[in-house]
Amino acid sequence: MTRSGCFVSLTHVRFPSLQTEEDYIPYPSVHEVLGRTSPFPLILLPQFGGYWIEGTNHEPKDTPEADQPPGSASHIKLETNSTAKIYRKQFMGKEHFNYYTMDAALGHLIFSIKYDVIGDQEHLRLMLRTKFKTFHDVIPISCLTEFPNVVQMAKLVCEEVNVDRFYPVLYPKASRLIVTFDEHVISNNFKFGVIYQKFGQTSEEELFGNMEESPAFVEFLEFLGHKIELHDFKGFRGGLDVTHGQTGTESVYTSFHNKEIMFHVSTKLPYTEGDSQQLQRKRHIGNDIVAIVFQEENTPFVPDMIQSNFLHAYVVVQVENACTDNVTYKVSVTARDDVPFFGPALPDPAIFKKGLDFREFLFTKLINAEYACYKAEKFAKLEERTRSALLETLYEELHINSQSMMGLGGDEDKLENGGGGGAGGGGGGVSPRFSLNKKSHTVSTSHSGSFTHNPAESPKTPGISLLVPGKSPSKYGRRGSAIGIGTIEESLIIPGKSPTRKKSGPFSSRRSSAIGIENIQEVQERSRDVSPNTQRTPDSAHFSQENRSDNSSNHSSPEFPATKNSTSGITRRWLYP
């Protein structure tokens, strides 16, 4: 739609972001548009932008193509994190080597190396995990002048690596821990809001105040999934109460390509008399990331009608010829400016016949929308924090269990860490003193004002010149300070371990969506929940992943992906304000 109110036929429209309100001529308000002649668009941009729109043409074509189901199955593809599945597919159960170390800039590093023969050529398959991302590459050995060492291999996939050495992982169950970390971003559980918008409704209070469901809306809900009784429901509950009935008595649930989906339907959530904001409804839908807006009649939806820190994308569906044999749905999509475009692309015109093809398209669009929203600035920062915490826990588990395999880490082994930050950086300042308990594998710290352990420097060896385009041979030299090279005592030091936190045991990733984080406001510490007398052996080190939503029925805690670190008792829960 242009500023003058004329509608243009654009499949995907991204408008420039607002700098200041003074720099921008406002878009027409919804009330201004409703005062004009219909038909109206399904979506209007907020007056000062901040969103993009896909699917603005809904004029039927008079050609036979209009009778064909839009959207070929070959163009409908669920987004997936392919890197997260590589270790299970290419490394597990096959001969490979794992290493760990600490880099001053990249943080904790976990490195996997595998020798591969692809066709008749020898290759190195390399996988490096940092707190920012996972790097993966397959490099032909024929491209290298000499066979590289582990540090040089790491530099082949990430030039920013600046460490002196890697430590071998000697724990037999390491692969189980590593694959759990890699796959913590993969989720088979999703929850989406469903908002019912009647004709003329233009405010949040009106949208959440709807109590009755029209036949057209009931038909659409039946199209989305099965109506289920929440009491004692055993599937993915999406944060709804299945014990006390305090989030309603029924909801809509379905499965799609082995993924469970729970819908938070506005009219099925509890209605509170006298509450104009209907917080019992908004607390769930407002904590979703993607929502469907169902329109029975032609009234535009404006994304900023609903105030939420989490809702980043909307799929607006408007029905025509409801409850007949010729039901069609018009579709438009809108998302915040920092959400990248996600497929499958809407056809032109964006009109669908009710049926399996539209269901496949709609569910794929919803799931891909959530994955795309994770790349928005707000969620990307939360994902990075979660990834960094999980990687640190994995790093410590691999170190502690590798030391245990060598019979090291007793109560008498109390050293000072002269490395001051691990293999990647030299360090000054306060040096932590670590004590590893062989039974419980807890790490205790104390502080010393000076270094009392100064190992002799190991001789530096020149780097191997590798024929990698655009890289200087000098980049493969040994850089930075090493920790604990040459002595058993120094090998007990956990490189880069923070002296301010205790950690032992495996971590548990509880999640109901891909990024493993719940709400943006608070990190709750629950260390008191962990018994101080609990002891564990090296064989007990493993990850456990389960959905919080299956273990808790507290209606006051709407579910977002949660990450729980069982070793420190920290649970991250991000609550809608």
In a domain, 443, yes or no: no
For residue 386, being part of any structural domain is answered with no
pLDDT value of residue 26: 66
Handedness of CA 328, 330, 335, 340 (dihedral sign): positive
Whether 243 maps to a domain, the answer reads yes
Shared-domain flag, residues 349 and 264: yes
Task: Tell me, yes or no, whether 216 and 322 share the same domain.
Answer: yes
Task: Report whether 110 contacts 100 (CB < 8 A).
Answer: yes
CB atoms within 10 A of CB 95: 7
What is the number of other CB atoms lying within 10 angstroms of the CB of residue 276?
A: 12
- pLDDT (0 to 100) of residue 500: 43
- The mean pLDDT value for 92-114 works out to 96
Percent of the chain exceeding pLDDT 90 equals 48
Confidence at residue 388, expressed as pLDDT on a 0 to 100 scale:
95
Residue pair 276/297 in contact (Cβ under 8 Å)? The answer is no
This prediction has a pTM of 0.67
Residues 256 and 147 in one domain: no
Give the orientation angle of helix 377-405 with respect to helix 174-182, to 10 degrees.
Answer: 180
* Nearest Cα to Cα of residue 507 among 550, 548, 568: 568
Q: 320-324, 362-366, 562-566: lowest mean pLDDT where?
A: 562-566
Q: Does 434 or 152 have the greater pLDDT score?
A: 152
CATH number of the domain that 295 lies in?
3.40.50.11210
Cross-strand pairs, 265: 194
User: Does one domain contain both 264 and 326?
Assistant: yes
Q: Report the percentage of the chain scoring pLDDT > 70.
A: 63
Lowest mean pLDDT among 137-141, 253-257, 454-458, 496-500: 454-458
pLDDT tier, 525 (very low <50, low <70, confident <90, very high otherwise):
very low
Indicate the residue among 350, 375, 400 that finishes a domain: 375
Same domain, 318 and 226: yes
Same domain, 158 and 100: yes
Q: Within 13 Å and on the Cβ side, how many CA atoms surround 140?
A: 8
- Separation between Cα atoms, residue 239 and residue 193, nearest integer Å: 12
pLDDT of residue 477: 40
- CB contact at 8 A, 361 and 344: yes
State which of 332, 360, 375 marks the end of a domain: 375
How far, rounded to the nearest angstrom, does the alpha carbon of residue 239 sit from its chain's CA centroid? 18
pLDDT at 28: 72
Q: CA-to-CA distance for 290 and 227, rounded, in angstroms?
A: 20
What is the rounded average pLDDT for all residues in the chain?
74
> For residue 499, what is the DSSP state?
T
In a domain, residue 199? The reply is yes
Mean pLDDT along residues 343-370: 94
Residue type, 163: V
pLDDT of 35 strictly over 80 = no
Average pLDDT over residues 291-318: 92
Alpha-carbon span 128 to 160, nearest angstrom:
12
Report the DSSP beta bridge partners of residue 446: 433
**pLDDT for 32:** 74
Both 177 and 197 in one domain: the answer is no
Return d(Cα 85, Cα 179) in angstroms, integer: 8
Q: Is the pLDDT of residue 426 over 80?
A: no
Residue 171 and residue 405 in contact, taking contact as beta carbons nearer than 8 Å: yes
Q: What is the pLDDT of residue 40?
A: 85
**Rounded CA separation 87/136 (Å):** 10
Q: 269-300, pLDDT tens digit by residue?
A: 998 888 778 888 898 999 999 999 999 888 89
Q: Of 65-74, 104-113, 458-467, where does the model show the most confidence?
A: 104-113
Q: For 289, which DSSP code?
A: S
The Cα–Cα gap between 28 and 4 comes to 8
Residue partners of 16: CB distance under 8 A and separation at least 6: 49
pLDDT at 124: 95
pLDDT band, residue 61 (cuts 50/70/90): confident
Confidence of residue 214 (pLDDT cuts 50, 70, 90): very high
Question: Is 257 part of any domain?
Answer: yes
Does position 135 have pLDDT exceeding 50, yes or no? yes
Assess if residue 541 is contained within a domain: no
Residue 459, token pair as written in the block? 């001789």
Q: Which of 41-50, 102-111, 311-320, 523-532 has the lowest mean pLDDT?
A: 523-532
Query: Distance (Å, rounded) from C-alpha 321 to C-alpha 79?
Result: 32
pLDDT at 373 over 60: yes
**241 lies in which domain range?**
189-375
The reported pLDDT for the residue numbered 486 is: 38
Task: Of 93-107, 200-214, 274-288, give the range with the top mean pLDDT.
Answer: 93-107
> In terms of pLDDT, which residue wins out, 341 or 414?
341
Per-residue confidence (pLDDT) for residue 12, from 0 to 100: 52
Residues 200, 333, single domain; the answer is yes
Confidence at 62, pLDDT banded by 50, 70, 90: low
154 shares its domain with 300: no
- Which of 24-28, 189-193, 322-326: highest mean pLDDT? 189-193
Residue 48 has pLDDT above 90, yes or no: no
Report the alpha-carbon distance of residue 61 to residue 542 in Å, rounded.
58
- Judge whether residue 127 has pLDDT over 80: yes
**322 with 215, same domain?**
yes
- Listed residue (370, 441, 373) closest to 402, CA to CA: 441
Mean pLDDT of 534-547: 42
Residues 6+ apart with CB under 8 A from 513: 187, 189, 190, 191, 289, 370, 560, 561
Q: The domain spanning residue 102 has which CATH number?
A: 3.30.1120.160
Is residue 237 domain-shared with residue 347, that is, in the same domain? yes
433 lies in some domain: no
- Residue at a domain's end among 128, 161, 183: 183
Q: What is the model's pLDDT at position 38?
A: 72
**Residue 56: its pLDDT value, please?**
87
Higher pLDDT, 259 or 436: 259
What pLDDT score does 31 carry? Answer: 72
pLDDT-derived band at 317 (thresholds 50, 70, 90) equals: very high
The predicted model gives 14-28 an average pLDDT of 54
Task: Let me know: does 269 contact 247? Beta carbons within 8 Å.
Answer: yes
Q: Per-residue pLDDT tens for 186-206?
A: 989 999 999 999 988 888 999
What's the CA angle centered on 208, arms 206 and 209, to 5 degrees? 60
pLDDT at residue 433 in the model: 34
Identify whether 27 is part of a domain: no
Residue 476: DSSP 8-state = G
Determine the pLDDT at residue 200: 87
Shared domain for 234 and 169, answered yes or no, is no
Where helices occur in 122-171 by DSSP H, the ranges are 150-157
Predicted confidence at residue 25, as pLDDT, reads 59
- In the chain, how many domains are there? 2
- Looking up tokens 């299956």 gives 550
pLDDT digits (tens, 9 = 90+) for 482-520: 333 333 334 444 454 444 444 444 444 444 444 444 443
Q: pLDDT confidence of 80, banded at 50, 70, 90?
A: confident
